[in-house]
Amino acid sequence: MLRPSSYFVQVLSYSLCITHLLCYAQPTKDVVTIKIGILLPLSVAIPSSTTTDSQNRTYQDVQNMRQFSEFAVNISTILQPNIRVEFLEIDFWRKNTLSFNPSTSTNAGSAACMEDFQVLLLCTASASVLSQYKIPMCGDLQASPALSNKNEFPYYFRIYSGLGIHKHIYLLLKAWGVRRVAILVGNDQFNRQTATDMIQLLGVNGIKILQVVHVGPVFQKSTLNALKIVDARYILTFVATASLSNIYFH
């Protein structure tokens, strides 16, 4: 059996979580359809001549998962009678998404809720605009503490809080008796903010941070040299997989 892609699993799991929230909707005499939209990263949502085979497969996986999720949710018994869930066509965040034209089936204006699989920068913009229109949005892997600001993003929610998300790492380090660590930080906003959260958490709990090494999008020998001189047995990494692989390779 082939292992499903990460997007394949994520669409199903978050769709089911959102649908469980809808189970509290009041039963009606007439059939009510609740529409849920899905926002994807641009690289996945827009197949092009430069799109890799992997991205094309991911896009197709999400399309298949959207249809499967809709089927699985609607045959379940968690919804009240006469309430049906429909997952909108995959779309990305673009200007016409803001037009709220009810004649467009993929438009966010007709959606009761949005799921998100975007990078942090796009997710922040999406969450801000959708909150203005009072459309709930469920984030996926966005762990940024900034998105926990309910005054700015009142309609944004996620399965876990963005604040203190690395507490379990601190508890593990404490159990092992670790008192000194080094930290490797990527150049993207997601990893920078989560690393900042981790640094604050370790600082208030007495774990010394020997050095914070910043990693750019292109491998540089200076990064490797900085790691070699760090006298730390444990190095916490907040780096994109591709950049981290380059460091391991060298």
**Selection from 18-22, 120-124, 161-165 with the highest mean pLDDT:** 120-124
Query: Given this model, what pLDDT does residue 20 score?
Result: 57
Does the pLDDT value for residue 10 go beyond 60? no
* Segments making up each domain of the chain, as ranges: 6-157, 167-249
Is there a contact between 206 and 180 (Cβ–Cβ < 8 Å)?
A: no
Pick the CATH number of 6-157 from 3.30.43.10, 1.10.260.40, 1.10.1740.10, 3.40.50.2300: 3.40.50.2300
Task: Write the DSSP string, 187-236.
Answer: SSHHHHHHHHHHHHHHHHTT-EEEEEEE--SS--HHHHHHHHT---S-EE
Q: Read off the pLDDT of residues 61-115 as tens digits, 9 standing for 90 and up.
A: 667 777 777 777 777 766 667 777 777 765 554 434 444 443 444 444 456 666 6
**Selection from 41-50, 137-146, 163-172, 209-218 with the highest mean pLDDT:** 209-218
Q: Read off the pLDDT of residues 150-195 as tens digits, 9 standing for 90 and up.
A: 888 888 877 655 555 667 788 888 889 999 999 988 877 667 877 8
pTM of this structure: 0.51
The answer to whether the 6-157 and 167-249 domains have the same CATH topology is yes
Give the C-alpha separation, 176 to 12, whole Å.
36
| CATH class of the region 167-249 | alpha beta
